[in-house]
Amino acid sequence: MRRLRKPDSASKAAEADERTVRTAALALLAGRDFGRSELAERLTRKGYPKAHVELVLAELVADKSLSEERFVGQFVSQHASRGQGPMRIRMQLRERGVEATAIDEALDTAAADWIESARDARRRRFGAEPPADWRERAKQARFLQYRGFSSDQIRAALGPGDDTEL
């Protein structure tokens, strides 16, 4: 019986691996957008070789299936609508491996009015009435600080005329 020799089986295995990595990456991207470094981490955690992961990510960036700008823009918009402030959003994006320049650009171009967002977050949590005393004011300030608002934004949200402006 004659054995058929498989032509260049090593390259087929490498091609299959790249195809597998691409399929896994597209499956993750079908669920939501990812930043490049976050997607690379997910794929390498699944056990795919780094060389294949980097090659596939470069292909996905080239065909615009993976876009760092789109991911950061959607992330900022989504988290700002949840009542989170710019400092917390920046921290979460840094944890996901996004470059500082991309974060700054997205936060600068965001359509969010951070002071109004801080006021809305305070109202949802504590009601329309401004804080009655210093203890309540400090409590509300800590809450807004946890949500990622700056000192200036917190002062504006807690300050006089809170419910009469805008």
Supply the DSSP symbol for 67: -
CATH 1.25.40.10 fits 114-158, yes or no: no
Which whole-number Å values give the CA distances from 86 to 96, 102, 143, 152, 166, in the listed order?
15, 13, 14, 12, 20
Q: Is 0.85 surpassed by the pTM of this model?
A: no
| Architecture of the domain whose range is 14-66 | Orthogonal Bundle (1.10)
Name the residue ranges covered by the structural domains of the chain.
14-66, 69-109, 114-158
Q: pLDDT by residue (tens digit) across 100-154?
A: 999 999 998 887 789 999 999 999 999 988 898 999 999 999 999 999 999 999 9
